Each structure stands twice: as C-alpha cells, then as structure tokens.
A and B are shown apart, each in its own frame.
Chain A
Amino acid sequence: MEDKEITQEIISVSSAPHIRGEDSTQRIMFSVVIALIPALLGSVYFFGTRALWLTFLAVITAVATEWVIQKLRKVEVTVSDGSAIVTGILLAFNLPGGVPWWLPVIGSFFAIAIGKQAFGGLGFNPMNPALLGRAFLLASWPVHMTTGWTAPLYGTKSGISTVTEATPLAALKDAIKYLNVEDKAQQSAETIAAIKGSYGNLLWGKVGGCIGETSVIFILIGALYLLYKGYINYRIPLSYIGTVALFTWIFGGVEGYFSGDPVFHVLAGGLILGAFFMATDMVTSPSSIKGQWVFGIGCGVITVIIRLVGGYPEGVSYSILLMNLTTPLLDRYLKHKPFGS
C-alpha cells in the first residue's frame, strides 16, 4: 500500500473544478486594448499623429508608474496584465487634441498612482482610474482641458454647418442659452435647426472633441468585438444610452417636452465611448445583474442633468465616476434571488 501512495509533490489534490476556462485578467485587458485600436486609428485619422503621440505618452506613463509603485510597495509587478495600458489609452482618449504633452503624463500618473495603486491595485480601485485622472486634470488645468479643442483635419469643430468654433454639445448648449438673447437669437435658432444635419459628421467622427471619443463608428467596431467576446455585456451600455436618449428627447428641446433631439445627444460628446468602454469597466461597475441596469440608468440620468442643467456641456465622465461610488452598494443590496425562489 505504501509504495502506491503518491507523494504530494508529484500530484496535486486541489479541489474541483480541475479544469478552468481560458479567460484570464490578461486576456481580457489585451482584448480591450485591441478593441480600442479602431478608435485610436480613427483619432489619428481625424486629429493627426498628435493623437497618437498623446496616447503613447499616456500609456508609457501609466505602465511606468504602475511598475515603479509596485516595486516600491514590494508587491508583485503586474504590468503584464495590460490594465495599465487600458487606463493610459482611455485617459488619452478623454483629452482634447490641443493639450500640452505633459498633461497626459501627469494625468496617467495620477490615474495609476492615486486612482489605482493607492487603493491596492487592480480590483480594489473604487473608481475608474482613467476618469479620475481626467477629473483631476479638469480641476487643475481647466483652461487646457476646456479650450484645447482642435478641429478635425477634415471638418469643423462642431460638425454643425452654422457653427465652427465649439464642440457639438457646447454649440447646442450655447444655442439654447442664447435663444432669447436679442442679437444671438437668430443664429441660435439656426444652429438648433441645423443639428440634424450633423448626424453624419458625428457618426463618422468629423467633429471636435476628446481625441478618442468622436468617432462613433470606430468605437462601435471595438465595442462589438468585446460584446462578441463576452468581456462586456449589453446591459450597462443599453440602459445608459437608452436613458440618455429618452430623457434628452423629453427634456432636451426648446419647444416643450418631447422636442429634444435624442439622436444628437447619443452621438455627440463622449457617450458612446463612455457607455461601452468606461461605464463597463468591470472593477468599478456592479456584478449584480439588476445592479447593472440601475448603474446604467443612473449614469444616464446624471449625464442628462449635467448636459441640460449643469454648467458643463458634457457629463459622461462625472456621471460614471459618481455611479462608480454606488457599485458596492448596488452589489450588496440588489441581491440575486436563487433559482426557484
């Protein structure tokens, strides 16, 4: 009997299941990187090689920061899991094209050092690091962050035929604001009438904005890939975009309820990028199925409030950051009922 007793070194008696699926953290993160490549190519096409340069700086800084901090903390270095690369790309994607080169560097550093490593690294960060980095930049260098817009190489900043000097959402916001101001009323009315003509530009990406957010088509190509791979699911994007569409339609117009332009609101700004690539960030969005619906709707409501009522033309980043904070509660209280109850 003794001779047949196999020693622990040779065989493993760890418990079931004895086989595991192929997905790993690394595989997921690199799939997200791949999914962001179409949007990156789009940003280079519309904003030139500067977009590539800014993205490169952000990624390098993110990876280097993670490496250094993990070395200093004397913990395992996990830069090979790809999550810092994702953070770097998303941070750059959320910057205007005209910012100085050191802005993505500082933003990425903040995102990784404060937004992620200070909490203990991947899996422990309560908020999306890239968005936190962006919020930090917006608070610290508001001029760069709000006026650094560059026009796309093949179009105007607004994409709206009557306006050239503002991003689409800002153009609309101004138009609504000045609708009753004598000398601007006519022009504002023309702008509002012209926004329907901008759909094509918005879809394609021929408008000003953050370098990675403008091209709906390119972003969606990447999003479809992630949906197909099962690394994101439809619940948050659908509920988020659906909520924005519904409420901007109801409240977003100038001729009373149900006169808004939901299509414009969905296509303009950072909603598509945010809904598919940032609100869906696994770590900071709920794992509860009900929680995911609530999260998406919450993001939508806050985005609409900021866009229609708040001081900024765009509210995607802040809405996601705010909802990130509710994630632990949503997971805890929107419990699942077991099958059969």
Chain B
Amino acid sequence: MAAEQPFGDPPPQITCAGLSKSFAGGMQVLAPLDLTIAAGRTTALVGPSGCGKSTLLRLIAGLAEPSAGSIGIGGVSPAQMRRSGAISMAFQDPSLLPWRTVRSNIALAQKLVRQPADPAAVDHLIDLVGLTGFGDTRPAALSGGMRQRAAIARALITRPRLLLLDEPFGAVDELTRRQLAQELPRLWEPQGTTTLLVTHSVDEAVLLADRVLVLSPRPARVVADIAITLPRPREPLVIHRAEFRELAAEISAALAEGAGQPPSQAAE
C-alpha cells in the first residue's frame, strides 16, 4: 500500500448535493439534502428517532449508496475516503467483537487501517474513557455504557480525519456522559478532525458542537442551522449559563416545530 498517512492530512470538508435515500418499498428517508459541513469542526445532528440520522452517517461513511445526489469528502468520494482508512465510525450499537477483549477490540481498528500497533496509546484511551482496569475484559462482562465507551475509544485510536459518532453516549449515564463530553473533544480538536455527532440530547449537542443541525421527521430535512459560539474549552457548568440555555431552547423549539409541521409544507 502507498505510505499515506491519513492523519497527517488536513481534515476534510463534506459536501452533500441533492442527497436523498429511499429504501426498498419506496420509503424515502432523506429528503434531497444540500449541506456543507466545515472541515475540522464538530457538527451535531439532532432529530427525532427514525428520521434518517444513522442513514445519513452511513452514506457519508460510504457504507450505503445514495439513491440520488452526491457526497464529496475533501474532494473524493466516501468510498475512496473510507478505503484510505481516514474514517472512524462509532456505531449506534457498540458492535464490539465478543471474542476480543476491550484492549484487542480497540487495537483491531489500528490493525484494520494498517497503522503500527501502539499499546501505550490504547491503554491511554482506555483510561481516558474511564475503563481503567477493564482492558482484558470481554464485552459480555461490560455494561451497555461501558461498551459504548470502549467503542468510542476504538473510534479514536486511529486518529481519523473524519469521525462519525452515532449516538455515542446513548447508554452512558449522565455523570460519565458529562465527563466524556469534557474530555473527548480535547482528543479530536488539536489533531484537526471533522466530527459529525448524532445525538438526541440537546444539551450534549450544544456542549460539544460548533454547529447544530436540527432535522425534521422522516424524510429528514434541515429545519434549523444553529451556530454555537460558546468559547472553548467548555466547562461542564457552562450548561447552566444563560447563553447555553438560550441555544438549547432554540434547538428544542426547532425540534418541536419540525415535528409539528407536515413534511409537505417543507420548503427551504
């Protein structure tokens, strides 16, 4: 293989043009979407469940083909980007391989993208996601939240240029979630990663993202596009500040409005 170092390259910008996806039986999941997602920033997608968030992430990862429209990631196709090993995705289901320990599940990602094994980095990440001491445990013996944290560590270990996180904290308890939300951005911000975060927690979106896109029920379209200008690093207590609460209220209102409107009236 060519000695390309994906994580040495700058983070990519994502451009979706007229992107739509329908499944067999004619169910349309994404309304034609036109989107530009800035390089090196964290963009959060919030929307009601079943609206097509996971589908959008799979399209961007090149794991599914759009029914119409196109996606460009840093000037190449999702499939090309994927094949260069520059993408990491944390799936909604943690999908750890049950026969591997936490440590070897994380190390597998490095092996898959043909990076040299780095046990020290693996252990560091294990500590960082709060799994200290569980490196040699198999997934079956972990709680749902612990599995998700292991999956997050696996997504980060390859230092991807494009990080796709699909409800990564869904099963993580509130306290740990806040800690992770505090810690993790430090990992991907300095190395320049384009991060796309799907979440159903409005607070999480505001806390982590530079921009929040609110999606309507299926077929998904963008009903609000909100820039989060809060300074970084953001302390956990920032969620009690007035600016934060205003942004959160704005997003919640957009969510409710998007859900209340019949999809046909959607133009924009």
Question: Are chains A and B native binding partners rather than an unrelated pairing?
Answer: no
